[in-house]
Amino acid sequence: MDTTTRSSSESSQNSEQGLLNSYEKSEGHPRYATRKIRRAPWGVILPWSLCVVLLVAIVVQARIIRIRSATPSTSFWGTRELEIVKREVAPNKKVVRFTGGLRYNSSKQLYREIDRTVPDYTGKPTEEITAAWHDLITTTDIFLTKAEIEEIIANGGTFANLPHKDDVLYTDPFVGLYQAVPTVFHDLHCLDKVRRGIYLDYYSEDDTEIFWPHIEHCLDTIRQSIMCHADMTPIPEAYTDFKPSGHLEPIFQIEHTCRDFEAIQKWAKGRDALDEKVWRKNAERLKLDTKN
Ligand SMILES: *[C@@H]1O[C@H](CO)[C@@H](O)[C@H](O)[C@H]1NC(C)=O
């Protein structure tokens, strides 16, 4: 906002100076000198200069708007997202074709189309599936420095407006850094929780007294995240003769424009506050970066 007003008033000042200059020059010309005596010049010049000033202001404003919308970092990230991510992760989108369609085959049986080129995250639980989810979730907790928390508060972000007024932010007792959970990894953790809940016999360690509140929290969180992102990519619908009821079948393996999940995952791993193998190293590096 500040820059807009500053630059447009700056340019209107410049154009005003430009207009005055050319008017002063014309004073010396004998032809205009006589005219000037007969007419009150300001009655003509003032409305015209105002017009030009306004025109210049409009052009400048339009250019600023165009520059803003062309800058990906401002439209790519939401205002509530981590400032440090906006600086350290390139705002790249990529096209991803979704996998795991659902179709009827010629014997009118519903089956899931499995793409063997990507890890499978569903189906009857196996060690591979459990490990695939573990890799996907990456981490639930990342380290944030005091400076990063203060920057967010200064910008009126998440930590400036906590719902429970008495809450005090946690710092790690060993390294003194703050911790937070990037929503995407929490969402994935939640989806995995619900999946594990379906196969509770296999994941019997999840069968505790917190099972239902946890599952219900997770379902509600996933609902809100999906609504928040509101992907409007159309899923086409085609004719089918194989469906027992009706002839309409959605085609799920279509391309979506997505954030670069792998880039975000890599960044988060560098701040992982949980993984025994990396958390100390991550903390030391972050503390060194802050001192510089
Ligand atoms: C259709 O799918 C069912 C269930 O997966 C399977 O048993 C059947 O052999 C399939 N039929 C054809 C023609 O592919």
Q: Which residue, judged by its Cα, is nearest atom 2 of ligand 1?
A: 109
- How many angstroms is it from 105 CA to the middle of ligand 1? 6
pLDDT of residue 208: 97
Confidence of residue 73 (pLDDT cuts 50, 70, 90): low
Average pLDDT, the chain: 83
Tokens 């002839």 found at: 247
**Ligand 1 site, residue 111, Cβ cutoff 6 A:** yes
Report which of residues 16 and 54 the model is more confident about: 54
Residue identifier of the C-alpha nearest atom 14 of ligand 1: 105
Q: Is 105 in the pocket of ligand 1 (CB under 6 A)?
A: yes
Assess whether pLDDT exceeds 80 at residue 70.
Answer: no
Q: What is the pLDDT of residue 49?
A: 77
**How many C-beta atoms surround the C-beta of residue 184 within 10 A?**
16
170 belongs to a structural domain: yes
Q: How many domains does the chain have?
A: 1
Is the pLDDT assigned to residue 35 strictly greater than 50? no
| Distance separating alpha carbons of residues 284 and 270, to the nearest angstrom | 11
Confidence band of 4 (pLDDT split at 50, 70, 90): very low
Which is the closest atom of ligand 1 to the Cα of 111?
5
Model pLDDT, residue 12: 37
For position 178, what pLDDT does the model report?
A: 97
Position 102 scores a pLDDT of 94
The proportion of the chain whose per-residue pLDDT surpasses 90, expressed as a percent, equals 67
Q: Evaluate whether residue 251 is within a structural domain.
A: yes
Closest C-alpha to 27, from 45, 14, 15, 11: 45
Q: Are 267 and 88 in contact (CB under 8 A)?
A: yes
Domain membership of residue 34 (yes or no) is no
Mean per-residue pLDDT, 249-266? 96
At residue 275 the predicted structure's pLDDT band, cuts being 50, 70 and 90, is: very high
Q: Please report whether residue 75 resides in a domain.
A: no
Q: Is the pLDDT of residue 56 over 80?
A: no
Is 109 touching ligand 1 by the criterion CB < 6 Å? yes
pLDDT in tens, 74-130: 689 999 999 999 999 999 999 999 999 999 999 999 999 999 999 999 999 999 999
Q: From ligand 1's centre to the CA of 107, what distance in Å? A: 6
Whole-model pTM over 0.85: no
How would residue 6 be classed by pLDDT, with cut points 50, 70 and 90?
very low
Q: What was the pLDDT predicted at 62?
A: 61
> Mind listing the pLDDT tens digit for each residue in 122-171?
999 999 999 999 999 989 999 999 999 999 999 988 998 899 989 999 99
In a domain, 124, yes or no: yes
Residue nearest (by alpha carbon) to ligand 1 atom 11: 107
Inside any domain, residue 235: yes
| pLDDT of 272 higher than 90 | yes
Task: Establish if 129 belongs to a structural domain.
Answer: yes
Q: Cα–Cα distances in Å, from 121 out to 190, 228, 273?
A: 14, 23, 25
Give pLDDT, residue 42.
Answer: 66
Residue closest via CA to ligand 1's atom 6 equals 109
E strand or H helix that includes residue 237: strand 237-239
The pLDDT assigned to 223 comes to 98
Whether the CB of 102 sits within 6 Å of ligand 1: no
The helix, strand and coil proportions of the chain, stated in percent and rounded to the nearest 5, come to: 55, 10, 35
Domain that holds residue 102: 83-290
Is the CB–ligand 1 distance for residue 290 below 6 Å?
no
Please check whether residue 5 lies inside any domain of the structure.
Answer: no
How far is the centre of ligand 1, averaged over its atoms, from the C-alpha of 255 (Å)?
Answer: 27
The predicted-structure confidence for 202-240, as pLDDT tens digits, reads as follows: 999 999 999 999 999 999 999 999 999 999 999 999 999
Tokens linked to 112: 């899931």
Residue 244's φ and ψ, nearest 5 degrees, are -60, -35
pLDDT recorded at residue 1: 36
Q: What are phi and psi of 143, to 5 degrees?
A: -85, 145
